[in-house]
Amino acid sequence: MTLPKIKHVRAFVVRGGGADYHDQGAGHWIDDHIATPMSRYPEYRQSRQSFGINVLGTLVVEIEAEDGTVGFAVTTGGEPAAFIVEKHLARFLEGRSPTEYEKIWDQMYFSTQYYGRKGLVVNAISGVDLALWDLLGKLRQEPVYHLLGGAVRDELQFYATGARPDVAKELGFIGGKMPLHHGPAEGAEGMKKNIAMIADMREKCGPDFWLMLDCWMALDVDYATRLAIAAHEHGLKWIEEAISPDDYWGYAELKRNVPKGMLVTTGEHEATRWGFRMLLEMDCCDIIQPDVGWCGGVTELLKISALADAHGKMVVPHGSSVYSYHFVITRHNSPFAEFLMMHPGPTEVVPMFHPQLLGEPVPQNGRMKASALDAPGFGVTLNPEIAMHRPYTH
C-alpha cells in the first residue's frame, strides 16, 4: 500500500497552557514557590514564571500529505522551535513518504547535531516526529498504539502529579507526586518545611498510598541525601529529578546514598538514546522518565525504552498527554503512567493539554481503558478556537 507523500510542513506558536503546561494563570499550584536551580536567587524563588519557565510557549507542528490528510502534534518550543522546523527540518520531510520516519529522524538529528543534541532542538525534532506518527495513523486509519505493537494490558493506571496527593487518592489514582517547595538556599528551615509537607500528606493519605517528591533539578547530593533519609520515615516511594541532569556522577552517588527501598528517578530533561544510555550505564536511577515531546519523539523513545528494558529498568514517561499514553500501553516495562493535574487546585481532573486538544482522554478513577485511545493517529484534533500564529514560512 503506497501512502501519499508529504506535501507541506508548517509550524505554529500557541500561548496559554497546553503543551507548555507551565504557562498558566496566577494562583496555579504549578507556580507556587516550587524549588528549582534558580531558587538560590531570592527574587526568583516564589514563581518559576519569574525566571521564564513559560518563556517558550507551545509549538504546533502540522504535516500535510498530498491527499490533504494532516497529522499534527504539540510540544514545548514556541517561536524558536518553529524557526528550526520551518527553516531546517522541513527539508527532510517534504516530498518523502511518511513511512520513512527512521531516515527522517536520522537526518533531523544529525543535521542539527552541531547546535542541538538536547533541549529546544530535540523538542522541535520530537514535535515533528509526533506529527509524523499522527499522520501515519490517520493515513492507515489506526491508533498510534496499534502501530507500536498494540496494547500489552487492557488499561492504563496513573499516578497524579500536583500539590494535593490527598485529593489524588480520592480520585482513584495509584499515587501522588508533589512538588518540592524549598531548596538548599533556604537552609534548615526549608528542610523542616519540606519534611512537614511530606509528613502531613502521609497523615492525610494513610500508610499505603504512593507518595513521591519532584525536586525539579533543585538540589545537591548532600541535601537530597538528607531529604531522602528524613522522608523515608514517611514512606516516600521515590525522589525525582533531585539534581542537575548534567550531573550523572551525582545521580549515581545519590542512588547509592538513599535508604533501601526508596527509588531514585529522573530523565524528563534528558534526550536521545545516548543521554539515557549514560543514565542507565552509570546506574543513576531506578526509573527513567523521558518526555516523548522532548526526548526525540516516538521513534527515539522506542530505542530508549528497549535500552532500559535490557537494563531491567522501568520507563514511566513524563506526563505528555496522549503522546505518552499511546506509548505506555504498549510496553511491559511501563506499568503505569503520569497524569499531570492541570486544574489550579488541583482538585479536579481536567485534560492535561487543555485547551489545545479536542477529544483528549482523561483518567476515570485513575485509570484509562486502551479502547479510549481507539481513534486514528493520537486520536485528538487541534482546537480551532485557539489562536495560532505562524511566525516563519519556507
By CB under 6 A, residue 270 contacts ligand L6UHLTYX: no
Torsion-angle region of residue 95: left (phi > 0), alpha (psi -120 to 50) or beta?
left
Residues 6+ apart with CB under 8 A from 256: none
By CB under 6 A, residue 346 contacts ligand L6UHLTYX: no
- In angstroms, what is the minimal distance from the CB of 149 to ligand L6UHLTYX? 26
Report DSSP state, residue 344. Answer: S
Name which of residues 318 to 337 contact ligand L6UHLTYX (CB under 6 A). 318-319
CA 253-259-263 angle, 5° bins: 75
Q: Which does 34 bind (CB under 5 to 8 A by kind): ligand L6UHLTYX, Mg ion, none?
A: ligand L6UHLTYX
- Of 134, 186, 214, 338, the residue at the interface with Mg ion (CB under 5 A) is 214
Catalytic residue list contains 318: yes
By CB under 6 A, residue 34 contacts ligand L6UHLTYX: yes
Torsion-angle region of residue 62: left (phi > 0), alpha (psi -120 to 50) or beta?
beta
Residue 12, CB-side half-sphere exposure with 13 Å CA sphere: 18
- Of 198, 271, 340, 370, the residue at the interface with ligand L6UHLTYX (CB under 6 A) is 340
- In angstroms, what is the minimal distance from the CB of 216 to ligand L6UHLTYX? 4
Q: Which residues pair with 177 in a beta bridge?
A: 161, 212
Q: How far apart are CA 362 and CA 353, in angstroms?
A: 10
- In angstroms, what is the minimal distance from the CB of 343 to ligand L6UHLTYX? 14
Residues 6+ apart with CB under 8 A from 188: none
- In angstroms, what is the minimal distance from the CB of 133 to ligand L6UHLTYX? 22
- In angstroms, what is the minimal distance from the CB of 243 to Mg ion? 13
Q: Which of 88, 269, 318, 326 is catalytic?
A: 318
Quick one: 216 or 323, whose CB is closer to ligand L6UHLTYX? 216
Residues 6+ apart with CB under 8 A from 82: 11, 12, 13, 59, 390, 391, 392
Quick one: 73 or 337, whose CB is closer to ligand L6UHLTYX? 337
- In angstroms, what is the minimal distance from the CB of 357 to ligand L6UHLTYX? 17
> To which H or E segment does residue 310 belong?
helix 298-310
Per-residue x/- mask for Mg ion, residues 236 to 275, rule CB under 5 A? ----xx--------------------------x-------
Task: Lay out the sheet containing 6-14: strands in order across.
Answer: 6-14, 58-65, 70-76
Name which of residues 140 to 179 contact ligand L6UHLTYX (CB under 6 A). 161, 179
Alpha carbon 349 to its chain's center? 18
Per-residue x/- mask for ligand L6UHLTYX, residues 282 to 321, rule CB under 6 A? ------------------------------------xx--
By CB under 6 A, residue 31 contacts ligand L6UHLTYX: no
Q: How far apart are CA 345 and CA 214, in angstroms?
A: 17
- In angstroms, what is the minimal distance from the CB of 76 to ligand L6UHLTYX? 10
Q: How far apart are CA 104 and CA 378, in angstroms?
A: 20
Three-state secondary structure along 99-139? CCHHHHHHHHHHHHCCCCCCCHHHHHHHHHHHHHHHHHHHH
By CB under 6 A, residue 268 contacts ligand L6UHLTYX: yes
Size of the site for ligand L6UHLTYX (CB under 6 A): 10
Residue 223 C-alpha cell reads as 541535601
Quick one: 186 or 268, whose CB is closer to Mg ion? 268
Quick one: 216 or 353, whose CB is closer to ligand L6UHLTYX? 216
Peptide bond into 143 cis (omega under 30): no
Q: Which residues bind ligand L6UHLTYX (CB under 6 A)?
A: 30, 34, 161, 179, 214, 216, 268, 318-319, 340
Q: Which residues bind Mg ion (CB under 5 A)?
A: 214, 240-241, 268
List the catalytic residues.
318
